[in-house]
Every structure is written in structure tokens, then in C-alpha cells.
């Protein structure tokens, strides 16, 4: 009678399984760019990424902190930098698109119940915002994905504001 050792089969097949995953592309090695951890929203880096998604230029807000103005999918937007110390070493950023026609609270709630990433606010004008925190750091790839999210929502914002 043969005694079966616990885990014996698993140990023998695990290397074959991992090799199979690697050959099928299920396991990949992250590129150096993907592994780069951004600990703070460096304005030059943010501007560089923004230019990859449309037109963008560096500016300053009313407090003298960095601000980027750009256009994605034909929609004008601003990126505000928050938590800055002496206009540097900022902690987070916020994408923002604003329109002169105000949204009612019901319209803002309708938007917010339908869409997850970008939030609508009622008030003096219709405002759409998306926050990005750098607490603990994020990869450049993740930051680019935030731009992609904003870009994909820009058409929805334009349609929503235009009543489509």
C-alpha cells in the first residue's frame, strides 16, 4: 500500500502551473515606469501626463498654487493642487469642470447615482469633480488611469449638461 504525502502532488505541479501562467501572459513583470511610486503630485509630471490626453498648460490658481488647464474630448477642465506648502509639496489634486448653467440638487443627485468616479455638485454653476489622493503614493500607471477615467467621463459630462 502506498502512503500519500499531503501536498506532494501540489508541490510537484506548482512549478508547472506557474510556468504555464507565465507562458500565457497571466503573470507579467511590471515595467519600471509602472513600478515608479509617485509620493506627491509633481506639477511637471502631472502636466506631462495631461499632455498625453489632450492640450494642457501650467498655470497658477488664485492662491498661487500650481494649476493645470486643459481640454480632453473637447471638454475644458482644470486640475487644482491641494495641501501645498509654499505652493510646493502638494498632497493631492482635483480634476474639475464647471459650467455657468447651475445644476439643481436633483440633477446632481441623478448624476451621482449613475456615475461613480466623477461627482456633480449643484450651486452657482454646474461643477463636476474628481479627487486623486497621493497618500501612501501611487504609480504613474495608476495616475494615467485617473486621467483615462476623467477623459472617458468628459463626453458624459458634456451630454449631461446639454440635456442629452
Q: Is the pLDDT of residue 26 over 80?
A: no
Q: Tell me the C-alpha distance between 77 and 128, whole Å.
A: 9
Give all strands (DSSP E) within 22-162, no chain letters.
Answer: 37-38, 55-60, 66-72, 75-82, 92-99, 119-121, 126-133, 138-139
Q: Of all residues in the chain, what percent carry a pLDDT higher than 70?
A: 78
Return the higher-pLDDT residue of 126 and 30. Answer: 126
Q: Tell me the C-alpha distance between 58 and 24, whole Å.
A: 43
Q: How many CB atoms lie within 10 A of CB 25?
A: 7
Where exactly are the structural domains of the chain? Answer: 30-161
Q: Is the pLDDT of residue 107 over 80?
A: yes
The size of the chain, in residues, is 164
Q: Which of 155, 137, 152, 161 is nearest to 53 (CA)?
A: 152
Q: What is the pLDDT of residues 133-152, one digit of tens each?
A: 999 999 999 999 999 999 99
Q: What is the pLDDT of residues 51-104, one digit of tens each?
A: 999 999 999 999 999 999 999 988 999 999 999 999 999 999 999 998 888 888
Q: Is the pLDDT of residue 15 over 50?
A: no
The reported pLDDT for the residue numbered 73 is: 84
Decide if 90 contacts 40 (C-beta within 8 A).
yes
Q: Tell me the C-alpha distance between 91 and 16, whole Å.
A: 45
Q: How confident is the model at residue 131 (pLDDT cuts 50, 70, 90)?
A: very high
The fold adopted by the segment(s) 30-161 is: Yope Regulator; Chain: A, (3.30.1460)
The reported pLDDT for the residue numbered 33 is: 52
Instruction: Classify each residue of 7-24 as buried b or exposed e, where b means 16 or more C-beta atoms within 10 Å of its C-beta.
Output: eeeeeeeeeeeeeeeeee
Mean pLDDT of the chain: 83
Amino acid at each position: 500500500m502506498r502512503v500519500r504525502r499531503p501536498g506532494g502532488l501540489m508541490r510537484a505541479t506548482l512549478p508547472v502551473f506557474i510556468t504555464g501562467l507565465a507562458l500565457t501572459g497571466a503573470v507579467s513583470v511590471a515595467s519600471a515606469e509602472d513600478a515608479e511610486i509617485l509620493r506627491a503630485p509633481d506639477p511637471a509630471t502631472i502636466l506631462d501626463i495631461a499632455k498625453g490626453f489632450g492640450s494642457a498648460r501650467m498655470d497658477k490658481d488664485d492662491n498661487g498654487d500650481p494649476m493645470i488647464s486643459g481640454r480632453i474630448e473637447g471638454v475644458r477642465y482644470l486640475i487644482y493642487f491641494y495641501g501645498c506648502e509654499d505652493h510646493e509639496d502638494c498632497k493631492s489634486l482635483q480634476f474639475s469642470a464647471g459650467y455657468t448653467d447651475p445644476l439643481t440638487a436633483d440633477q446632481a443627485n441623478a448624476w451621482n447615482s449613475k456615475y461613480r468616479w466623477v461627482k456633480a455638485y449643484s450651486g452657482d454653476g454646474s461643477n463636476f469633480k474628481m479627487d486623486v489622493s497621493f497618500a501612501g503614493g501611487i504609480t504613474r500607471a495608476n495616475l494615467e488611469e485617473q486621467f483615462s477615467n476623467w477623459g472617458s467621463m468628459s463626453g458624459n459630462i458634456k451630454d449631461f449638461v446639454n440635456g442629452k
